[in-house]
Amino acid sequence: MERALEEEPLLLAELKPGRPHQFDWKSSCETWSVAFSPDGSWFAWSQGHCIVKLIPWPLEEQFIPKGFEAKSRSKNETKGRGSPKEKTLDCGQIVWGLAFSPWPSPPSRKLWARHHPQVPDVSCLVLATGLNDGQIKIWEVQTGLLLLNLSGHQDVVRDLSFTPSGSLILVSASRDKTLRIWDLNKHGKQIQVLSGHLQWVYCCSISPDCSMLCSAAGEKSVFLWSMRSYTLIRKLEGHQSSVVSCDFSPDSALLVTASYDTNVIMWDPYTGERLRSLHHTQVDPAMDDSDVHISSLRSVCFSPEGLYLATVADDRLLRIWALELKTPIAFAPMTNGLCCTFFPHGGVIATGTRDGHVQFWTAPRVLSSLKHLCRKALRSFLTTYQVLALPIPKKMKEFLTYRTF
């Protein structure tokens, strides 16, 4: 596996909300969620006080080093519509969850217009926002217009996830202890309610191959669901405290879960096998290591090429991990971190804080080895069991199933 030089993440830029005089500044100012659009052309930021900022990416050029620009914003879009403008979405409630849709394919846009002439057009890039009152609002990114309002949850909508296939299926996770499945191609119809969690559901993540859904609640186990039948596949047990964050690798072959127990566990989602644990130990000797809550984890995410993880913990550090190592390769100091996500084309990590700030950090930029590229391509359509059934040497099977690196 090729690995980038182990350099500390550098702070590229920091965004701070303007002070709203009509609010008590200390209440509801947290940035609970940050998100990049799948094509890398927009960034969304829940900046507290019911406001979401939609910001065209890249930021002003002086903040971003050469090579980090969005690759997918087309020349036609820029010329035809003018440069995208920053937008402010007033959601009317505290915003907890954010999710961009993938770009729908042109045939689905035409189909939508033909069969739903009277229904709001969601055949565009949209942003879903999960609110404090259980509502989910769907916004058109290009115009900032509200398209749909989804009702059903009885408490805070903590997290949201679209199927990566572009089918406009949305999954929501709530403090009402349920997950709900919505079809935006059917005017936001609720098509399934997933029950079984006994505590607030903090996080939901759909595998890139759209076959599995992982949900994490204030429990020691995480649930794996089938996205085809919407039934429970298995529970993954191994954490010693509440699991609060989860993410699939880009090839769907790995699942990582982060917990208040200070550990990230890497799982094989197909077999339920626990592959390794990444323990967050104190770096600052001045801190009391006996207080486990200091290192409680808040967020974990995979890098877009699948070679790295980023984690945010309560010990005021952003950590970057290489998959094959059990200790971090880099640290960055950040205060009151709550969430993190990678830019979809790599090179940048965005983090959100309790103060309503967003910070952008440099991330490892690496050229994947041919071995990893082959593994990633094969695992995007082969399950672990299918790999184990191949007539190939044992060492090759171990590599393809991430038992070795």
- How confident is the model at residue 225, as a pLDDT? 97
Task: Tell me the average pLDDT across 12-18.
Answer: 84
Bigger pLDDT: 18 vs 323: 323
Alpha carbon distance 169, 164 (integer Å): 9
- Location of structure tokens 């055949």: 123
Residue 32: φ, ψ to 5°: -80, -25
For 141, the 3-state DSSP assignment is coil
**Cα separations in angstroms, 394 against 60, 182, 311, 401:** 50, 42, 32, 11
pLDDT band of residue 64 (cuts 50, 70, 90) is low
pLDDT at 3 over 90: no
Residue 281: φ, ψ to 5°: -100, 160
* pTM value surpassing 0.75: yes
**Token pair listed for 239:** 């954490």
pLDDT at 30 over 90: no
C-beta separation of 378 from 400 below 8 A: yes
Task: Tell me the average pLDDT across 153-182.
Answer: 95
DSSP-derived letter for residue 348 is E
C-beta separation of 264 from 297 below 8 A: yes
Bigger pLDDT: 28 vs 250: 250
pLDDT at 71 over 50: no
pLDDT at 314 over 60: yes
Alpha carbon distance 94, 29 (integer Å): 9
Alpha carbon distance 37, 56 (integer Å): 10
Which range has the worst mean pLDDT, 39-48, 221-230, 302-311? 39-48
pLDDT at 29 over 90: no
pLDDT at 130 over 50: yes
Bigger pLDDT: 1 vs 34: 34
pLDDT band of residue 115 (cuts 50, 70, 90) is very low
C-beta separation of 310 from 363 below 8 A: yes
- How confident is the model at residue 218, as a pLDDT? 86
pLDDT digits (tens, 9 = 90+) for 332-379: 998 888 999 999 999 999 999 988 889 999 998 888 899 999 999 999
pLDDT band of residue 1 (cuts 50, 70, 90) is very low
pLDDT at 13 over 50: yes
Pairing state between β 212-217 and 201-206: antiparallel
Amino acid occupying residue 93: Q
**Whats the size of the chain, residue-wise?**
405
Q: How far, in whole angstroms, is CA 312 from its chain's centroid?
A: 13
**Cα separations in angstroms, 345 against 63, 70, 138, 349:** 17, 8, 25, 11
- How confident is the model at residue 32, as a pLDDT? 87
Which range has the worst mean pLDDT, 6-10, 284-288, 360-364? 284-288
**Token pair listed for 25:** 């500044």
pLDDT at 113 over 80: no
- How confident is the model at residue 294, as a pLDDT? 61
For 374, the 3-state DSSP assignment is helix
Alpha carbon distance 142, 145 (integer Å): 8
- How confident is the model at residue 70, as a pLDDT? 41
- Location of structure tokens 């171990």: 398
DSSP string, 218-271: SSSEEEEEETTT--EEEEEE--SS-EEEEEE-TTSS-EEEEETTSEEEEEETTT
CATH number assigned to the domain covering 11-59+84-106+121-366: 2.130.10.10
DSSP-derived letter for residue 135 is -
pLDDT band of residue 122 (cuts 50, 70, 90) is low
pLDDT band of residue 203 (cuts 50, 70, 90) is very high
Share of the chain above pLDDT 90, in %: 64
Alpha carbon distance 108, 115 (integer Å): 11
pLDDT at 90 over 60: yes
pLDDT band of residue 292 (cuts 50, 70, 90) is very low
Alpha carbon distance 156, 153 (integer Å): 8
pLDDT at 51 over 50: yes
pLDDT at 37 over 80: yes
Integer Rg of the chain from CA: 20
- How confident is the model at residue 254, as a pLDDT? 98
- Location of structure tokens 């991990």: 321
DSSP-derived letter for residue 103 is P
Mean pLDDT, all residues of the chain:
85
DSSP string, 198-217: SS-EEEEEE-TTSSEEEEEE
- How confident is the model at residue 372, as a pLDDT? 94
Alpha carbon distance 345, 359 (integer Å): 17
Which range has the worst mean pLDDT, 72-86, 172-186, 263-277, 292-306? 72-86
Alpha carbon distance 197, 232 (integer Å): 11
- How confident is the model at residue 171, as a pLDDT? 98
pLDDT band of residue 81 (cuts 50, 70, 90) is very low
Alpha carbon distance 279, 264 (integer Å): 7
Sequence ranges of the domains in the chain: 11-59+84-106+121-366, 369-404
C-beta separation of 259 from 219 below 8 A: no
